Amino acid sequence: MDAVVKSAAVPMPAADPSDPIHLLCAADARYGGYAGIMLASVLRANPGESFDIHLLSDGVRAGDRRKLAPLVARAGSRLTVYDVVARLAGYSDGVGNHLSRTAYARLLIADLLPADLGRILYLDCDIICTGALRPLWQLGEQAGAIPLLGAVPDRTGERWKARLGLPADAPYFNSGVLLINLAVWRERDIAAKIIAWMATHPDKLALADQDAINACLWAEITPLADSWNLQIGLDSGPLPAARLNEAVLLHYTSAHKPWRFRFRGPGAEIFLRHKRQSPWRFKLPTFRLVYRLRKSLNKRLARWRLPSADQATISANRRAKASGP
């Protein structure tokens, strides 16, 4: 299903300040630093490139914002921060998995982003960039190449399709990297369609809006080569070491993140190298015990906060085994 030529074989074009790559990410207080590390890797891997970075902030700490602003400015790019705390008030964190309500922030882009912006490239915070992004961005310029949405199939997708009722031959996509035709997204009010599906099928939501995106749009998503979203989570199965060097975007899927204490999964050294080269070089690792305590607390708070009609969502999330986007 590889439909994209690997960027390693494509010369990096000269940067054009009048044609920046519009990059979207979302983070909360816990993930602000990791969004910074991801963006630092993007800027380092794309020297001289021009980016317009759109950060959806669900309470990103002031200290992280203070580090991010000069980092972006020194690279000759621009940063816009959108406060989405109030607009996400109706959403809850995932129960029984690592997902937070910030995962839903990208559903707000039709109203938040500039009206004349025709496309956007979304990246999750748990990604490291090692190569040029301009070839991926330029796919959106080719007539009909990305009619609505471009994404990479999920390496563990088969386990989620039956729960969503997708056809056996349907692909299931990972939503960690999305090349979005924003003009069509707005015109067809795609976010409203996804939100309506979530409201109707709360029992099927285990991986936040990734499930809803697949349920609603799987037949309209353009498959991208996995070099644009090489999923290297511990539950994604083994990969030859050479694949990590060939990919442009490494995605540390599942709950076992590379910022954990003594993380030894695929790409551990790559993440540490980029972290040390970023303003977050002294950020302390997280510990599994703290993660498990926080998850347990979130489960109890969710049971207390959610009305009884939403208990089916809790049951679905319990069945999700700490894997996903």
**Total domains in the fold of the chain:** 1
Alpha-carbon dihedral angle through residues 144, 149, 151, 153, given to the nearest 10 degrees: -90
Domain CATH number, residue 187: 3.90.550.10
How far, CA to CA in Å, does 140 sit from each of 80, 137, 172, 179, 214? Answer: 22, 6, 21, 8, 20
Please report whether residue 27 resides in a domain.
yes
Is residue 156 a part of any domain in this protein?
A: yes
| Bridging pattern class, strands 119-123 and 21-28 | parallel
Residue 214 lies inside a defined structural domain of this protein: yes
Enclosing H/E stretch for 108: none
Residue of 142, 310, 151 whose CA lies nearest to 223: 151
Q: What is the pLDDT along the chain (325 residues), one digit of tens a residue?
A: 333 333 333 344 455 667 999 999 999 999 999 999 999 999 999 999 999 999 999 999 999 999 999 999 999 999 999 999 999 987 765 433 446 789 889 999 999 999 999 999 999 999 999 999 999 999 998 878 999 999 999 998 888 888 899 999 999 999 999 999 999 999 999 999 999 999 999 888 888 789 999 999 999 999 999 999 999 988 777 888 889 999 999 999 988 899 999 998 999 999 999 999 999 999 999 876 555 555 566 556 555 655 544 444 444 444 444 445 5
The distance of Cα 229 from the centroid of its chain, to the nearest Å, equals 10
Tell me, yes or no, whether 325 lies in a domain.
no
Identify the DSSP state of 250: E
Supply the pTM of this predicted model: 0.83
Asked whether residue 324 is assigned to any structural domain, the reply reads no
Asked if residue 137 is part of any domain, the answer here is yes
**1 part of a folded domain:** no
As a whole number of angstroms, the distance between CA 256 and CA 265 comes to: 8
Domain range for residue 20? 7-319
Residue 307 burial (C-beta neighbours within 10 Å; 0-12, 13-18, 19+): exposed
